[in-house]
């Protein structure tokens, strides 16, 4: 017998969200890790909010929704709220009931500054890794570091000569604001120009012959046992940023009597960087750059078997960059300013760990 195609709404809802999500769904294991991390941050959340006034949307719900945005490559908060309106899986993960209305997309803009002020992204990354069942997966002796370009939310047309306040060029004669610009033959640099859209972005090229872009540099520190990201930050783009960020991230982990190792690519093969690592009791497992100059890495380091192993494992850090930039949408940041873009980059690194952790925990059980 053919069924009827008639649609009818029901007066009451008997949907149990917990029963609608299958028991082996990947988000179940992730949600247990997220819940434990958010409980550890409860006091930090309390310090960010006033003790009086109208109750806000819980920050725990906001962070769970932002994790879904990274997991499912949702481009904007508007699309995220549209998905949250009808997707029962999203409602279950965030903690909304079937009949609860979704929030307005501007809720994220209003609360992002508060979460940024409390450095919640970095703390969230830390408390996820601090859970006992996760902590035993981590290496405390062997690490790898690298950096990647994060394109700024600014076009090359916005990169204009620095001028006194109010002395900008006249509007285009066509009446629009997007005037035709020919950059050919113009000498432009960060010393004489800046972006009017995002003044903190810097013009930078990754290598000789490559295109120069307005960007930042995102840095991650990976432990070598499981390939999890243990630290992340974002800095202005310049030739020294990668090495300075690497020293800042490895220094807190080098405060121990036993030596640790740090793997890195050829960009880190400089005398100053290698000497700084050795002064901190860190073995510089840096790839040798023998392209027309003398490498700072010699037989004291390369003769050990651990050096070859570090050079092999350190390449796994690119897997994290690939996920953060492609799946989590950080190839071109949607935020202006280093602080906001850095918050999003660090939070995406935490989301990358959460995607990998269920399988790692299952394999180690």
CATH code (residue 340): 3.30.420.10
Q: What is the pLDDT of residue 292?
A: 66
| Residue-by-residue DSSP string for 4-56 | P------SS----HHHHS-TT-HHHHHHHHHHHHHHHTHHHHHHHS-SSSSPP
Tell me the residue range of the domain where 291 lies.
139-152+215-346
Claim to verify: residue 234 and residue 333 sit in the same structural domain: yes
Q: What is the pLDDT of residue 100?
A: 87
Q: In the chain, how many H helices and how many E strands?
A: 15, 8
Q: For residue 231, is it within any domain?
A: yes
Q: What is the pLDDT of residue 182?
A: 66
Q: Judge contact between 99 and 322, C-beta under 8 A.
A: no
More confident residue, 99 or 165: 99
Claim to verify: residue 143 and residue 225 sit in the same structural domain: yes
Q: Give yes or no for residue 331 having a pLDDT over 90.
A: yes
* SS3 call for 195: strand
Closest CA to 45 of 105, 101, 117: 117
> How high is the mean pLDDT of the chain?
89
Contacts of 63 (CB under 8 A, 6+ apart): 34, 38, 115, 120, 124
Q: Which residue has the tokens 């409390």?
A: 118
Percent of the chain surpassing pLDDT 90: 65
Over residues 183-188, the mean pLDDT reads 72
Q: What is the pLDDT of residue 364?
A: 85
Over residues 129-137, the mean pLDDT reads 96
Claim to verify: residue 87 and residue 40 sit in the same structural domain: yes
Claim to verify: residue 252 and residue 336 sit in the same structural domain: yes
Over residues 336-348, the mean pLDDT reads 95
Q: Give yes or no for residue 6 having a pLDDT over 80.
A: no
Length of the chain: 365
Q: For residue 79, is it within any domain?
A: yes
Supply 231's token pair. Answer: 């630290």
The rounded distance, in Å, linking the Cα atoms of 190 and 8 is 62
Q: Judge contact between 120 and 38, C-beta under 8 A.
A: no
Claim to verify: residue 224 and residue 325 sit in the same structural domain: yes
Claim to verify: residue 223 and residue 96 sit in the same structural domain: no
Claim to verify: residue 279 and residue 147 sit in the same structural domain: yes
Q: What is the pLDDT of residue 178?
A: 63
The rounded distance, in Å, linking the Cα atoms of 38 and 32 is 10
**pLDDT tens-digit profile of 35-64?**
999 999 999 998 888 877 888 888 999 999
Q: Would you place residue 248 in the very low, low, confident or very high pLDDT band (cuts 50, 70, 90)?
A: very high
Q: Give yes or no for residue 166 having a pLDDT over 60.
A: no
- The phi and psi torsions of 316 (rounded to 5 degrees) equal -65, -15
Claim to verify: residue 100 and residue 146 sit in the same structural domain: no
Q: What is the pLDDT of residue 2?
A: 64
Q: For residue 309, is it within any domain?
A: yes
**pLDDT tens-digit profile of 291-317?**
767 899 988 889 999 999 999 999 999
Claim to verify: residue 233 and residue 340 sit in the same structural domain: yes
**pLDDT tens-digit profile of 279-295?**
999 999 999 988 767 89
Give the chain's domain count: 2
Q: Give yes or no for residue 11 having a pLDDT over 80.
A: no
Cα torsion angle, 225, 227, 229, 233, sign = positive
Claim to verify: residue 47 and residue 144 sit in the same structural domain: no
Q: For residue 8, is it within any domain?
A: no
Q: For residue 320, is it within any domain?
A: yes
Q: Would you place residue 172 in the very low, low, confident or very high pLDDT band (cuts 50, 70, 90)?
A: low
Q: For residue 24, is it within any domain?
A: yes
Q: What is the pLDDT of residue 282?
A: 95
Q: Which of 58-62, 134-138, 167-171, 358-362 has the lowest mean pLDDT?
A: 167-171
Q: Which residues pair with 232 in a beta bridge?
A: 220
Q: Would you place residue 91 in the very low, low, confident or very high pLDDT band (cuts 50, 70, 90)?
A: very high
More confident residue, 180 or 87: 87
Q: For residue 187, is it within any domain?
A: no
* SS3 call for 235: strand
Listed in sequence order, the DSSP H helices in the chain are 17-20, 26-40, 42-48, 59-71, 77-86, 88-94, 106-117, 120-129, 132-135, 241-250, 271-279, 299-302, 305-313, 317-322, 338-364
The rounded distance, in Å, linking the Cα atoms of 279 and 54 is 53
Percent of the chain surpassing pLDDT 70: 90
Claim to verify: residue 33 and residue 146 sit in the same structural domain: no
């Amino acid at each position: 017998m053919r069924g009827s195609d008639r649609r009818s709404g029901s007066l009451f809802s008997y949907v149990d969200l917990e029963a609608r999500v299958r028991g082996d769904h990947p988000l179940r294991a992730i949600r247990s890790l997220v819940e434990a991390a958010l409980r550890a941050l409860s006091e930090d959340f309390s310090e960010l909010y006033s003790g009086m006034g109208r109750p806000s949307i819980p920050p725990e719900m906001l962070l769970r929704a932002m994790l879904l945005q990274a997991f499912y490559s949702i481009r904007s908060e508007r699309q995220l709220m549209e998905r949250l309106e009808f997707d029962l899986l999203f409602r279950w993960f965030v903690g909304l009931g079937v009949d609860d209305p979704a929030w307005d997309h501007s809720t994220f803009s209003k609360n992002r500054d508060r979460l940024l002020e409390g450095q919640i992204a970095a703390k969230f990354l830390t408390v996820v890794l601090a859970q006992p069942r996760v902590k035993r997966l981590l290496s405390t002796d062997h690490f790898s570091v690298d950096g990647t370009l994060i394109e700024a939310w600014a076009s090359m047309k916005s990169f204009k000569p620095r001028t006194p306040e109010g002395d900008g060029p006249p509007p285009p004669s066509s009446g629009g604001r997007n005037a035709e610009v020919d950059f050919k033959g113009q000498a432009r640099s960060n010393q004489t120009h800046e972006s009017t859209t995002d003044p903190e972005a810097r013009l930078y090229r990754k290598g000789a012959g490559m295109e120069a872009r307005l960007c930042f540099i995102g840095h991650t520190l990976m432990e070598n046992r499981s390939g999890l990201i243990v630290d992340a930050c974002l800095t202005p783009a310049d030739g020294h940023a990668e090495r300075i960020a690497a020293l800042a991230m490895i220094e807190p982990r080098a405060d121990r009597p036993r030596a640790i190792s740090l793997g890195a690519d050829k960009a880190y093969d400089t005398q100053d960087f290698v000497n700084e690592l050795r002064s901190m009791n860190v073995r510089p497992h840096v790839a040798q750059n023998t392209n027309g100059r003398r490498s700072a890495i010699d037989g004291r380091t390369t003769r050990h078997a651990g050096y070859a192993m570090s050079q092999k494992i350190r390449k796994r850090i690119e897997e994290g960059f690939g996920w953060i930039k492609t799946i989590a949408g950080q190839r071109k940041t949607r935020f202006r300013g280093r602080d906001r873009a850095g918050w999003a980059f660090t939070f995406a690194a935490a989301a990358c760990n959460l995607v990998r952790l269920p399988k790692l925990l299952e394999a180690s059980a």
